[in-house]
Amino acid sequence: MIRSKFPKLEIPGLAFHDFFFKATRKYAAEIAMVNNDKKEQFTFAELTQKARFVARALVAMGVEKGEVVILCVDNSPEAVYLFLGISLAGAVASILSPKLSADEMHFQFVESDTRLVFADPDALLEVQRLFRGLNKVHRVICTGSRDQAEGYPILNDLQFVSNLGVILPRIQPKLDIVYMPFSSGIHGKRKGILTSHYVMNAKTVIASNHHCYIQPARNEFTVAMLPIYRQLGLEAIFISLLAGATVVTVSKFCVHTLMTCIDRFKVRTIYLSPMFMSMMINEAENHEYCMDSMRTVINGSAAVSKELFDDFREAFPYVENIITTYGMTEIGQITRTMPSLKYSPSCGRLAPNLSLKIVDLITGRILGPRQKGMIYVKGVSVMSPYLNNDEATREQIRGAWRKTGDIGYYDDAENVYLVDKSKEMIKVHGYQVIPSELETLLVTHPGVNEAAVVAIADQEAGERPVAFVVLNKDFPTSTEKIMNYVNERVVRYKRLVRVNIAQTLPRSPNGSLLRRLLAEAAVLSVCSMP
């Protein structure tokens, strides 16, 4: 077991909005956010005023303490002050992508039992279609302009109900819920995560750690490219604002817009995903940008490969630090690498206020350095239960330790390494096959650019590994040659039963591999085998 080497941080015992308002009061007249799409800007004082306006309107509309309000929004200043307003009203914010279809939104709407939604214009038709199917009393408020609202009320209409005389509810930070994200579903069915004000404060303070971590700073600009409906995207925005930085938002995740904003606003520190890093490299080859202000890139949505690390440093030699973080929606940040010009395969050292242990998957024994097993984490930020799912909560939280579902180890210097997801583990005749090991081997073949390995059911062995590869166009090869290349280098139970060629590998907006889609495709590919 290891404990964080960082000094212990004090977690504010306040409601999340009070923590935010108190911390940013000293920046009141400074610019907090810039909406790059609308060319609008908001000071910290204006964010606070807008949040209070929203809170009074929500209470006047009959929104009850603990009620879930859904934000179906992209990154914007409106999304931030709506979140703070929901917090101030004693309600619970749950955020999802406005690009989803009604069918994709359905689960989160039903689980949260929501009756009030703030939606971007692009989401209105799908939200309307969803509520029509649910057949329940509801309100939809558009975050856009009147001509985009399809007849729905807009944010300015809240002035007709916002009442200075309403009494805002008293918040008990350790008991009352402020935020309900949903788990990714990597470790089974998606679940609502009940995040209290106190735990929200803990997640934000731990991930921020301004005394030891490089973050966007006061009098600096940063661009919010990670979506707010993801844990790291939301954290990155609030971390930057709490430090006094100005956050620039763009609703469309376009690499040209990103690089133009870095140039225009002289961004020094930015949160990115590996997907955006790769896109920036390609964009820089074809167009010229002046981005020599950029010094630090913080990544946390997926692992940065050594190849991507080296290519990014070559494309942008003025970047001094590419930092990797590891976390999960239920916990927030768990580890982070320290500034360095050298690539490290680790995901860094344990964040403040946390303890970590590695547990043997079979015996349950606590393991030591360089021994691989299940990662468990302990600390204030890990204690969020699941919505209406006591069984899953008990499975995840045992005696203050939270099971991450990730396989990993730590070295003698207490750097933590991820090996794989336990749910992605392939079991062949009872032997464990780790997909990332085969994927690493696959990309050493000169004909393979990217690779992913998933399981296919097998009557005899239980499961067998199947690969999907994106080919290197400059090196002609075949699936048979690739499969032979791998199978000659691994023990029998790790051998691939099929290699499929793909144009691209399916990924989520934050760059995570969508293994479920590949698993479904693997079934079809094997069924079609002669």
According to the model, what pLDDT value does residue 523 have? 79
According to the model, what pLDDT value does residue 412 have? 97
How many CA atoms are closer than 13 Å to the CA of 65, on its beta-carbon side?
11
According to the model, what pLDDT value does residue 188 have? 54
The dihedral over CA atoms of 323, 248, 198, 58, expressed in degrees to the nearest 10, equals -160
According to the model, what pLDDT value does residue 435 have? 86
According to the model, what pLDDT value does residue 184 have? 64
Say which CATH topology domain 2-405 has. Rossmann fold (3.40.50)
Ramachandran area for residue 309 (φ above 0: left; ψ -120 to 50: alpha; else beta): alpha
According to the model, what pLDDT value does residue 132 have? 92
H or E segment and range at residue 217? none
Residue 274's φ and ψ, nearest 5 degrees, are: -55, -35
DSSP 450: E
Residue 520's φ and ψ, nearest 5 degrees, are: -65, -40
Domains of the chain, by residue range, sit at: 2-405, 425-527
According to the model, what pLDDT value does residue 335 have? 97
- pLDDT means over runs of 10, the chain (530 residues): 96 99 98 96 98 97 97 97 99 93 88 97 95 93 96 94 89 98 70 97 95 94 94 96 98 90 98 89 92 94 83 96 93 93 92 97 92 96 95 92 94 93 72 81 93 86 90 92 93 90 81 81 66
For every residue of 96-111, which 3-state class applies, written as one string? ECCCCCHHHHHHHHHH
Query: Residues 6 or more apart from 156 whose CB is under 8 A from it?
Result: none
Residue 431's φ and ψ, nearest 5 degrees, are: -85, 145
CATH class held by domain 425-527? alpha beta
According to the model, what pLDDT value does residue 427 have? 77
Task: Give the separation between CA 129 and CA 131, rounded to whole angstroms.
Answer: 6
C-alpha closest to that of 258 among 75, 492, 1, 68: 75
Interior CA angle at 304 toward 241 and 270, to 5°?
20
Query: Is the pTM of the predicted complex or chain greater than 0.85?
Result: no
According to the model, what pLDDT value does residue 431 have? 66
